[in-house]
Amino acid sequence: MWDIASIAAFLWIFFEDVDFAALHTEFRGFIIAKKPRGIDPKQYSKPPITVSSTS
């Protein structure tokens, strides 16, 4: 899970919404990033938005 978390943290720098959509197991799936941030330092003061989906 560390690889998933590190990629999601890196994507959060550039996108507001980052989520992991699991497939058949919790270790296999897609990392989804939405809403590009652009370059505005004020946006980085907000905590990340997390959305978890259960199958």
Q: What are the angstrom distances between the C-alpha of 2 and each of 5, 16, 18, 28, 49?
A: 5, 20, 15, 13, 19
3-class DSSP state of 8? helix
- Nearest-Å Rg of the Cα atoms of the chain is 12
Q: What is the mean pLDDT of residues 11-32?
A: 84
pTM flag (> 0.75):
no
Residues 6 or more apart in contact with residue 36 via CB below 8 angstroms: 14, 15, 16
User: What's the confidence (pLDDT) of residue 55?
Assistant: 47
Is pLDDT above 70 for 44?
no
Q: For the chain, what is the mean pLDDT?
A: 78
Q: Which residues pair with 49 in a beta bridge?
A: 17
Is pLDDT above 80 for 42?
no
